[in-house]
Structure 1
Amino acid sequence: MRALVLTGPGRAEVQEVEPPSAGPGQVVVDVERAGVCGTDMELFTGAMSYLRTGRSRYPLRPGHEWCGRVTELGAGVDPSWLGRRVIGDTMLGCGSCDRCRAGRHHVCPGVAELGISRGAAGALAERLAVPVTALHPLPDTVDETSGALVEPGGNALRAVRAAGLEAGERLLVLGTGTIGLLAALFARAGGADVHLMGRAEPDLGLATDLGFRHTWTRETLPGLPWHAVIDATNAAAMPALALDLAEPARRVVYIGLAGTPSTLDTRDLVLKDVTAVGVLGGSAGLAGAIDAYAGGSVDARPLVAATVGLDGTADVLAGRRPPGAGPGPKIHIDPRQ
């Protein structure tokens, strides 16, 4: 089968590789759509910290935002999975440690991240092998575009839940990329008064198109009480700003990761009595994201600017947008093209 392979920093190519087979407890999925994530781009450029720690290494097959159809079952898998449309969890825990048994498999000491770490081959390929325990079925009302947005949606939904807001309370989302916009969409669906802050006015256009009336830059941000702040940026200065802006005794949620260490003064955290929450992975939010997409309370499809075939993936990873791409931050890959 055809699969995208990262062979070194800045090097990606579509190769013919051995197709996967379903081992015990696994299924094989024909991939219908996969999203390109900032993590994939960091793996491509070599900036990803896992490459320095040895948790990831080349050659590597990326892709962790996907949907597809189950076409092969391994031993012990319920036959009802065959032919079903599914998405899958990125975080593959061991299943037997204390954290996994407590439902925190995303922080299992030996967790393998699909398409990212510990050699777990990803979804930028025609077919994918995945444990059946990682699967979530997709209803017919969730199309391929939305299906491949479930994984980032699960991350964003977890961030919104961590903000702990009541309906009508004010949320400030820092960042207008995929996760920031998704967080805004889920928060609005939950009744929050959502404001977004971008780097510059041109970054706010899609948010406005999505119906958000309160969009700001740092220079225009009003001095309102922010009942929660979600930092969905990759800027090292933003965690401290999020803490500075948050109302005392409320919450800041950190889901963005900067390329260099971020600093904040924990004295400010203590003296403001602010709760800071970090969010890693969408595992606990996947089912909720599917429900929101299926029910229509959240439509994330405008975030996808273009869909290209597998041969166009290397250009996307290198930061080149496809001709005719829309304003959205997300590019999708259809491995069947």
Structure 2
Amino acid sequence: MRAFVVTAPGEAGVQEVDRPVAAPGEVVVDVARVGVCGTDVEFFTGEMQYLHDGFAHFPLRLGHEWCGTVASVGEGVDDRWVGRRVTGDTMLGCGRCHRCLHGDQHVCEHRSEVGIRSGRAGALAEQLAVPVTSLHALPDAVDDVAGALVEPGGNALRAAQGAGLAPGDRVLVLGPGTIGLLVAMFARAAGAEVHLLGHSARTLDFARSVGFDNAWTEAELPSLPWDAVVDASNAAYLPAKALDLVEPGRRVVYIGLAGSPSLVDTRTIALKDVTAVGVLSASPGLAGTIEAYAAGAVDPRPIVATTVGLDGVADVLAGHRPDGAGAGPKIHVDPRKRD
């Protein structure tokens, strides 16, 4: 089958590889749609920390935001999965440690991550093998575009929930990229007054086009009491700014990751009596995200700018925007598509 493989920093392309075979407890999925993520870009450039920590090595097969249809099942798996449309958890815990046994497999020390960690092949290919325990069935109301946005949506849902929002609360989301916009959508669905902070006219204009009129640059940001601040950016200085902006006694959520250490003064956390929440993974939010998409409470599809085939992935990872792409921040890949 065809698969996208990164062989070294800045070196990648489509290769012919063996089709996966479902091991006991696994399924093989015909991949329909995959999202390109900032993590994928960091692997392509060689900046991803897992490469330096020894958790990942080249060659790599990327892709962890995906949906598709189960094509075959391994030993011990109910064959009624065959033909079902699904997405899946990225984080695959060992299933035996204290964290896994308490439902926290997404922070298992020995976890693998689909398309990211411990050599687990990702979804930028015609087929993907994953454990059946990681699957989430997709209802007909969640199409392939939304299905491949369940994983980033799960992260965003957890961030919005971590903000502890009540109807009428005012929340400021730092960073109007994919995660920031999805956080804003879930916060809006919870009844919050949503504001977004960015620095690019293009991204702020897009945020306004999907209904977020309160989209500001730092120079324009109004002086308002913020009941919650969610940092969904990759700027190293914004975690501290989030803490400065939030109202005393309220919540700051950190879901964005900078390429260098972010410094936060814990004295400010204590003196403002602020709750700081960190979000790593979509895992606990996947089911809720599917429910929200299916019910129409959140429609993530406008975020997708265009869809390319596997042959177009290298250019996307290198920072080139496909001709004719819309203004949204997310690029999708259809492995069946020939560019």
Range of TM-score over shorter length? over 0.9
Q: 2:104 — aligned with what?
A: 104
Shift of 1:215: 1.1
Whole-angstrom distance in 2 between the partners of 1:213 and 1:6: 39
Whole-angstrom distance in 1 between the partners of 2:147 and 2:331: 14
Unaligned runs of 5+ in 2: none
Q: TM-score, normalised by structure 1?
A: 0.99
Q: 2:147 — aligned with what?
A: 147
Q: 1:241 — aligned with what?
A: 241
Unaligned runs of 5+ in 1: none
1:119 partner SS: coil
Whole-angstrom distance in 1 between the partners of 2:99 and 2:136: 21
Q: 2:275 — aligned with what?
A: 275
Q: TM-score, normalised by structure 2?
A: 0.99
Deviations 1:136-182 (A, max 9, x none): 00000111100000000000000000000111101100000000000
1:250 partner SS: strand
Asked if 1:2 corresponds to 2:2, the answer is: yes
Q: 1:300 — aligned with what?
A: 300
Aligned length: 337
Shift of 1:264: 1.4
1:202 partner SS: helix
Whole-angstrom distance in 2 between the partners of 1:203 and 1:291: 27
Deviations 1:3-26 (A, max 9, x none): 000000001110000110000000
AA aligned to 2:82 is L
Matches within 5 A, 1:188-267: 188-267=188-267
Runs of 4 or more, structure 1, over 4 Å off, are none
Matched-pair contact (CA < 8 Å) for 2:202–2:327: no
Whole-angstrom distance in 2 between the partners of 1:325 and 1:9: 26
1:273 partner SS: coil
Matches within 5 A, 1:1-337: 1-337=1-337
1:34 partner SS: strand
Shift of 1:202: 2.9
Q: Which moved more, 1:75-84 or 1:22-31?
A: 75-84
Shift of 1:203: 2.2
AA aligned to 1:79 is D
1:205 partner SS: helix
1:33 partner SS: strand
Percent identity, aligned pairs only, is 66
AA aligned to 1:227 is D
RMSD between aligned residues:
0.6
Shift of 1:201: 3.0
AA aligned to 1:240 is A
